[in-house]
Every structure is written in structure tokens, then in C-alpha cells.
Amino acid sequence: MSEPVALSQGPMFDGVDPPDPKLIDACVHCGFCLTTCPSYRVIGKETDSPRGRIYQMDALNQGQIALSPATVSHFDSCLGCLACVTACPSGVQYDRLIAATRPQIERNYPRSLWDRLYRQFLFTVFPYPGRLRPLLWPLWLYQRMGGKVRAWIRKRLEKVSPRLAAMESLMPPLQPEQLLPKQYPERIPAVGERRFRVGLVLGCVQRLFTPQVNEASIRVLTRNGCEVVIPPAQGCCAALPHHQGQLQQAKTLARQMMDAFAPYEPELDAILINASGCGHTLKEYGHLLGQDPVYKERAARFAAQVKDIQEFLAQVGLTTPLQPLQPEPLVLVYQDACHMLHGQRLSQEPRQLLRQIPGLELRDPVDAALCCGSSGVYNLLQPKVAAELGSQKVQNLLNTGAQGIVSANIGCRLQIQKHLDLQGRQGIPIVHPMELLDRAMSPQPGFQ
């Protein structure tokens, strides 16, 4: 594409992969997507809706507007939840459009020094467990301080920086064993006869904050005839930087992930992931590295092997019998993660698996398809909109009268936990579907 002729003053899109005009033209401006869009629902402006953003992408492509602070704020307010992709009757690929827009902003728009430093901190720490883990020590010590001291610090943070306050309030309570690195065996044999050999992606943030999810996943897989292969060199899947337009970092992490799995790949029946946001990015490797002459074919092959763990188990079936969980009957509400529902189009698989647990009643909340406000690091970057969405989501989940919440994404889990705490409902547990299946397969099945 030729460089746009500047009709407007200020930073512009460059010529490197701008949003595809053909994809932009597919939008017929019908507005069916508007009410499904969480940023539009909270902010209430056309410019913060999918249709409004597509107009702005077009105008940026034509050089009619510049990357001004106002324009950039309308893209920054997008959660990337992809609800508009599900809703659009014309099949507009907003996911491709926003994925092309964000790197343009990161390359061409000069963010403020504080914004740059904050983003740099997020992207140089969170995707690297080896860097994040040492920070858990001061956090653990902080959590040991009295509630009054923490409330005082939180209040000050809210005044100085709502973003830092959001980060503080999202950190889950830490246990001492989480502070030390945990090594999993490279191969964990199937219990009984082996039916499949699967690779497992451990995730980066999840590995540290909710290690019990990976442990439950391994037990569920091995008890259902899977040998589990865990490449020790694996790092972050690239979801965090990918969702925020940090393209070079995302590509580097994706290549590293593929290299870590390469020695094992030929013998694997599938590569599994238990976090929805990561699963969506892993399935996108073919696109992400589509112009990489060395990796593009491998990336497409790798992506084709990736499955969400629930998608895989629903397909191959469970072989270990499930026991009722105590208390019985048990009423839980299922929270759809956006990158599972809209990104991977998986909604029945987790429900179908969980409904196999005897005595379990699964409910759905109002607005089940609306984002909880987590969306990767969105709640750390846009705390106000995220807080509104988190509060609404928790209210809807609680209104079902369920005794607990099931969520298959670490980001959603932390966001929901925060808003349960804020609403004084700390007693309502949140569990991953694998934790539930694990408990239902254990000799003394109990919900908590």
C-alpha cells in the first residue's frame, strides 16, 4: 500500500500492514454490533464502538485524521473481546482490523513518558515468569501487613495512580509455596493404558498465581489416558503483548514457544492450553508469523495442533468416572471468557464436560457474552471502564444464586475475585473447570 497523503496534522499510520481497506469496506454500518460492545455500553459514544472505530481506521488510512490523543483513546478503550465479531451479520473481521491498528499506534503515536514506562513495565515483567516471581516476595510481605495499612496504601494509590491501585487490588493472595520456582517433570505418564500423548502449555501469569490449575489439568489428563509432555524451556505464549500491539515482542515469544515444543511436536496428538486468552493467541500463530519466511509453515502447523483443554476432553471423552461433589446438589454459574466464546467459538464444550458431574447444576448469567473487563492487561491500563464491567459481571453472576463461579481464564478469575471482594462476597469461590473435574475424579470429592 502507498503511504497515505497527509490531509491532517499529526502522527499518521505508516505503510506497514495498516488495517486492510477490503476488511474495512465489509462493514455496512448497520450497528448490530453496538449493544454487544462493552466499551460502547460503558462509555456510550459511537467513537468507542466497533462501527465508530472502523470509521476511524478508514479515516486514518485515508490520512483524513491523525493519531491524536482523542483518536488513540478510542482504540485504547477497545477491550479486544471480539464480541462484535460474533455479532456482526456481515462477517466483518474486526479482530484482524484491531490487530493491525494497535501496532500502528505503538509505532507511530508518542505516548506520554508515564504511559510508556508503565506499559514497558507490564510487558517486560508479566510475560516472563523468571522476572515476575522475584516480585512476588515483596508482594507476599505486603499481604502479611495488617488490613488497615493496606487500606491506607490503597487509598493513596487511588489518588496517585488508578492504574497502580488496580494492579494492587488484582493481586491474588499468595501462599509461601508460590514464591519458589516449581519444576514439572518433562513427561508424566498416563494412568493405565495410554490413549494420547499431549503437550501442555503452562502459561506465564497463571503458572505463578494459580499453579493449582495446571496441577489439576495434569491429573485430569493423566487419569483420562493422556501422557502429558511439558517442555521445560517454554515461556509466554505471546498473548499479553499480542493483544496490545507489541508485535515484535509477540513474534519473538511465539517463535520461542514453537522452538520449545519443536523436539516433541512430531509425537504429540495435540498441544493443550487451559487459559482461554492464551489459547486464542496460540491458535493465531499462523497469522502472527504469516510473513516470517522461516517460521510461517511451522507456525500454521503448530496452531493447527493447539486445542483448549476442554475442547480436547469434550472431543475424546472422559474415561474416569465422576463422583458427585459435596455439597450435593451443587449450583454453579459458568462464566464465558471472551477469547473462548468469541475468539475460539467454544461455549458448549466446557458446559458439556461439567454437566457430566453428577448432581451439578450449571447456570448462565444475564449478559453472559459481555466482557468482565479483564481482557489481558486491559484492567491495568483502563481501570475505570474495567471496574464498571467487573462490577456488572459479578452482580450478574451473583444474581443467579449460584454457590460458586466457574471460569477458565486466569485474567477473568483475578478480575472477578477483585469485584467479589469489593462487593463483600469473598466467600464465593471461583474455580477452573479442570479443578472441578479433578475433584470429581478424586476419592473424596468435595467442591472446596
Report the nearest approach of ligand SF4 to the CB of residue 307 (Å): 23
CA-wise closest residue to 242 among 121, 57, 102, 409? 102
Report the nearest approach of ligand SF4 to the CB of residue 37 (Å): 3
What phi and psi, each to the nearest 5 degrees, are found at residue 360?
-95, 125
Interior CA angle at 338 toward 228 and 265, to 5°?
25
Residue (52 or 129) nearer to ligand SF4, CB: 52
Residue (14 or 58) nearer to ligand SF4, CB: 58
CA-wise closest residue to 217 among 208, 230, 204? 230
Residue (166 or 258) nearer to ligand SF4, CB: 166
What stretches of 15-92 adopt beta strand conformation (E)? none
Residue (83 or 406) nearer to ligand SF4, CB: 83
User: What is the binding site for ligand SF4 (CB under 6 A)?
Assistant: 27-33, 36-39, 50-51, 53, 78-84, 87-88, 90, 92, 94
Q: How many CB atoms are located within 10 Å of the residue 148 CB?
A: 8
Radius of gyration, CA atoms only, the chain: 22
Burial of 224 (0-12, 13-18, 19+ CB in 10 A): buried
Residue (26 or 268) nearer to ligand SF4, CB: 26
Report the nearest approach of ligand SF4 to the CB of residue 86 (Å): 9
How far CA 235 is from CA of 171, 282, 398, 409, in Å, comes to 21, 12, 35, 18
User: What is the C-alpha separation between 374 and 388, in angstroms, rounded?
Assistant: 11
Residue (54 or 322) nearer to ligand SF4, CB: 54
User: What is the C-alpha separation between 227 and 27, in angstroms, rounded?
Assistant: 46
Report the nearest approach of ligand SF4 to the CB of residue 227 (Å): 38
Residue (50 or 350) nearer to ligand SF4, CB: 50
User: What is the C-alpha separation between 331 and 394, in angstroms, rounded?
Assistant: 16
Report the nearest approach of ligand SF4 to the CB of residue 385 (Å): 9
